[in-house]
C-alpha cells in the first residue's frame, strides 16, 4: 500500500532523513522506533506532504504521491494525526471533526453519519460534540485527534506519539484502540515513546537512527532483540523471547492474532 524508497528530506539546509526505505501493507500496524530527533516525525510529515522530499519516491497503491499536495494525499486515503494533537481549542469538538474531512467534503447528512461512525469507539467524543475542544482533558483531546484523522475515511493512518503525556490507564486505552483499528483493515504507521508497547501490538517495525533505517523486521523479532532492548525498551531490559509479545499484549488487553 505505502512504499518508500531512497527517501531524503530535511528542513532548510539540514538533512534529516537519508536513504529511507519503508513499506506499510494493508491491515498492518508498523511501528517506527527511534530516539528523540531520529527523524520519526519528519518521516511522517514527508509522507503526508508537509515536507517535500529531496530525493526518493513515495508510492501509495503503486502510484507516485511525493509531488502531490497534502490535501490530495488525504483524498487518496492517507491521514496523519500529528505530534502534539494540534486540536483547535476554541472550536467545538464537532468543528474539529469536520476539519478532518476538509479534503473530502461531505454533505450535512453524510457528515453527521461519518461523525457517528468514526466516534463509535469513542463515546466520550460524541457526548461532547458541541463543547469547545478546550474543555476536553489531554486524553480526550487525543481521542478527538484520532477521530479527526479518521474523518477522511483513510486507509493508512499515521499516529505520531498518540499516548504522549497521558495517564497510564489511558495509554492502554489508546493502544487498544489502535489494535481495533487494524481489525477494521486500516493500515497504521505508529510512532510511540513506548517502543515495547508499540512493538507488542505491531506486525512489523523499523528502527530509525540519525535519519537512517538501521533495522527492520517482524515486531516479535525486534522485541526480542537485546540491543534494541538496551537502547529503547527502558528499565526492565530485554523481553523474554517466546511469549514476551503475547504477555505484553495481554497486559495491554490487546488481542493479537495468532
Ligand X SMILES: Nc1ncnc2c1ncn2[C@@H]1O[C@H](COP(=O)(O)OP(=O)(O)OP(=O)(O)O)[C@@H](O)[C@H]1O
- The CB-of-251 to Mg ion minimum distance in angstroms stands at 25
**Spatial contact of 163 and 142, defined as CB atoms under 8 Å apart:** yes
Which is closer to ligand X, CB of 94 or CB of 197?
A: 197
- The CB-of-48 to ligand X minimum distance in angstroms stands at 13
Which is closer to ligand X, CB of 38 or CB of 93?
A: 38
Which is closer to ligand X, CB of 46 or CB of 140?
A: 46
- For residue 163, give every residue at least 6 positions away whose Cβ sits within 8 Å of its Cβ, in sequence order, or none: 142, 170, 171, 174, 175, 192, 193, 194, 197
93 binds, among ligand X, Mg ion, none (CB under 5 to 8 A by kind): none
The residues binding ligand X (CB under 6 A) are: 11, 14, 16, 34, 36-42, 83
The residues binding Mg ion (CB under 5 A) are: 40-41, 83
Q: Does the CA dihedral 68-74-77-82 come out positive or negative?
A: positive
- For residue 196, give every residue at least 6 positions away whose Cβ sits within 8 Å of its Cβ, in sequence order, or none: 223, 232, 233, 234, 239, 248
- The CB-of-43 to ligand X minimum distance in angstroms stands at 7
Q: Which residue is nearest to Mg ion (CB)?
A: 41
Q: Which residues pair with 212 in a beta bridge?
A: 209
Which is closer to ligand X, CB of 84 or CB of 89?
A: 84
Q: What are phi and psi of 233, to 5 degrees?
A: -100, 5
Instruction: Look up residue 170 and give its three cell numbers.
Output: 489511558
107 binds, among Mg ion, ligand X, none (CB under 5 to 8 A by kind): none
Amino acid at each position: 500500500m505505502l512504499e518508500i524508497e531512497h527517501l531524503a528530506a530535511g528542513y532548510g539546509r539540514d538533512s534529516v532523513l537519508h536513504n529511507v526505505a519503508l513499506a506499510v501493507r494493508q491491515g498492518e500496524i508498523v511501528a517506527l522506533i527511534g530516539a528523540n530527533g531520529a527523524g520519526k516525525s519528519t518521516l511522517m510529515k514527508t509522507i503526508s506532504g508537509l515536507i517535500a522530499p529531496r530525493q526518493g519516491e513515495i508510492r501509495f497503491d503503486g502510484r507516485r504521491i511525493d509531488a502531490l499536495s497534502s490535501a490530495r494525499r488525504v483524498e487518496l486515503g492517507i491521514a496523519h494525526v500529528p505530534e502534539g494533537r494540534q486540536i483547535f481549542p476554541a472550536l467545538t469538538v464537532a468543528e474539529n471533526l469536520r476539519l478532518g474531512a476538509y479534503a473530502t467534503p461531505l454533505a450535512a447528512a453524510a457528515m453527521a453519519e461519518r461523525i457517528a461512525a468514526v466516534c463509535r469507539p469513542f463515546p466520550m467524543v460524541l457526548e461532547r460534540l458541541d463543547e469547545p475542544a478546550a474543555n476536553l482533558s489531554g486524553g480526550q483531546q487525543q481521542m478527538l485527534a484520532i477521530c479527526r484523522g479518521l474523518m477522511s475515511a483513510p486507509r493508512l493512518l499515521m499516529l505520531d506519539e498518540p499516548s504522549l503525556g497521558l495517564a497510564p490507564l489511558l495509554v492502554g486505552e489508546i493502544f487498544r484502540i489502535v489494535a481495533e483499528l487494524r481489525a477494521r483493515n486500516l493500515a497504521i504507521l505508529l510512532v510511540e515513546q513506548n517502543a515495547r508497547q508499540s512493538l507488542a501490538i505491531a506486525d512489523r517495525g523499523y528502527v530509525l537512527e540519525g535519519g537512517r533505517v538501521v533495522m527492520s523486521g517482524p515486531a516479535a523479532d525486534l522485541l526480542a532483540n537485546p540491543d534494541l532492548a538496551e537502547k529503547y525498551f527502558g528499565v526492565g531490559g530485554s523481553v523474554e523471547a517466546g511469549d514476551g509479545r503475547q504477555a505484553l499484549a495481554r497486559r495491554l488487553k490487546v488481542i493479537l492474532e495468532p
